[in-house]
Amino acid sequence: MTSVTLVGARLTDPGTEFVYHGESSACEGCPYRRQCLNLTEGVRYRVLDVRENTQVLDCAVHDEGVRAVEVEPAPVTANVPSKGAYAGSKASLQGPCPHTECPSHEYCVPEGAEFDQ
């Protein structure tokens, strides 16, 4: 499911992924708030395309302004137990991994993923 939103001009290349972290205090009073703040907080998104005939709008958060883009939730690459993992299956992430120095840590605690509580 795609959404149209405003993102920082540096993030508008198709294929760019980002995690939406929610509203900044600098957004207060901005006339474009509704277009920028329409994503789900904590979810990883991928830019699909820049909307045609759009201009760069001034923004208090993004130094180069914002542009309208189409985004969709991006798949999250993660380490999961091999038991029961197969192509097309869904898995639950167990939660924070204490091995922060491990080279695979980013896959055990991927940004933009939800964990079982």
Q: What is the pLDDT of residues 18-39, one digit of tens each?
A: 999 999 999 999 999 999 899 9
56 and 110 fall within a common domain: no
117 and 91 fall within a common domain: yes
Q: Which residue has the higher pLDDT, 57 or 1?
A: 57
Per-residue pLDDT band at 117 (split at 50, 70, 90)? very low
19 and 58 fall within a common domain: yes
- pLDDT tens, position by position, 66-75: 999 999 999 8
Domain limits at 81? Answer: 77-117
**HSE value, Cβ hemisphere, 13 Å, CA-based, for 89:** 11
Per-residue pLDDT band at 96 (split at 50, 70, 90)? confident
Query: Which residue, of 56, 73, 90, is where some domain finishes?
Result: 73
68 and 92 fall within a common domain: no
- Residues 14 and 71: their CA atoms lie apart, in Å, by 9
Are 51 and 69 in contact by the 8 Å Cβ rule? The answer is yes
Structural domain tally of the chain?
2
